[in-house]
Structure 1
């Protein structure tokens, strides 16, 4: 099973990634759209992968 999550990098979505992975034993895909906030995206991929 795959689950796609709109990922902001905040506490809520970071905890949600772990919970979904544990609860459903699913592959989690964290999606973040660049809508002009480039400075806020720095390090976001690494954070999602380490969560």
Structure 2
């Protein structure tokens, strides 16, 4: 399970950047606007938005 704060998504701190396949596994890609940081979330994992 991965949790992202709703305020981070609302203020565009993390943005959905599409999908990528690496090593035969599909991931959703989230990019951080403050730098060169990407968060890869494997398909099938739950992504929760928390306050």
TM-score (norm 1): 0.38
- Per residue, is there more strand in 1 or in 2? 2
More helix, by proportion:
1
> Could you tell me the TM-score, scaled by structure 2's length?
0.38
